Amino acid sequence: MNTISHHILDRLRRAESFVSGETLCHEFGITRSAVWKHIRLLRHEGYEIQAISGRGYHLEAMTGRPVQAEVQPWLTCQRFGQKIHYHTVATSTNVLAKSLAGEGAPEGTVVVADSQSGGRGRMGRTWISPPDVNLYFSLILRPAVPSIRVPQLTLLVAVAIHQALRDLTLELTPMIKWPNDIVVNGKKLCGVLCEMQSEPDLTHFVVVGIGMNVNQREIPLELQQIATSLLLESGRESSRPALLAAIMNHFERLYDQWLLEDDLAFILPYINNYALLQSKKVSIDQRNQQLTGTVIGIARGGELQLQSEDGTTMLISSGEANLRKDNG
Q: Which of 5, 63, 68, 94 binds ligand BTN (CB under 6 A)?
A: 94
- Residue number, 120 or 250, with CB nearest to ligand BTN: 120
Minimum Å distance from CB 193 to ligand BTN?
4
Binder of ligand BTN out of 121, 147, 253, 270 (CB under 6 A): 121
- Measured in degrees and rounded to the nearest 5, phi and psi for residue 291 equal -115, 150
205 binds ligand BTN (CB under 6 A): no
Distance CA 216, CA 130 (A): 8
Q: Answer yes or no: are the C-beta atoms of 178 and 277 closer than 8 Å.
A: yes
Nearest to 228 by CA among 215, 237, 241: 215
Taking the CB of residue 106, how many other CB atoms lie within 10 A of it? 12
**Identity of the residue, 39 or 207, whose beta carbon is nearer to ligand BTN in the bound complex:** 207
Q: Of 79-87, 91-99, 219-227, 256-264, which part binds ligand BTN (CB under 6 A)?
A: 91-99
Q: Is position 125 an interface residue for ligand BTN (rule: CB under 6 A)? A: yes
Give yes or no for residue 130 binding ligand BTN (CB under 6 A): no
Query: Which residues partner with 315 through β-bridges?
Result: 305
Nearer to ligand BTN, 75 or 193 (CB): 193
* Least Cβ distance, residue 237 to ligand BTN (angstroms): 20
Q: Considering the complex, what minimum distance in angstroms separates the CB of residue 127 from ligand BTN?
A: 4
CA quadruple 312, 315, 319, 324: dihedral positive or negative? positive
Q: How far is the CB of 207 from ligand BTN (least distance, A)?
A: 8
The answer to whether residue 93 forms part of the interface with ligand BTN (CB under 6 A) is yes
Q: Which long-range contacts (CB under 8 A, 24 or more apart) does 98-107 make?
A: 98/195, 98/197, 98/205, 98/207, 100/140, 101/140, 101/142, 101/197, 101/204, 101/205, 101/207, 102/197, 102/205, 105/140, 106/79, 106/140, 106/142, 107/79, 107/140, 107/141, 107/142
Indicate whether 217 belongs to the interface with ligand BTN (CB under 6 A): no
The site for ligand BTN (CB under 6 A) is made up of: 92-94, 116, 119-122, 125, 127, 136-138, 180-181, 191-193, 209-211
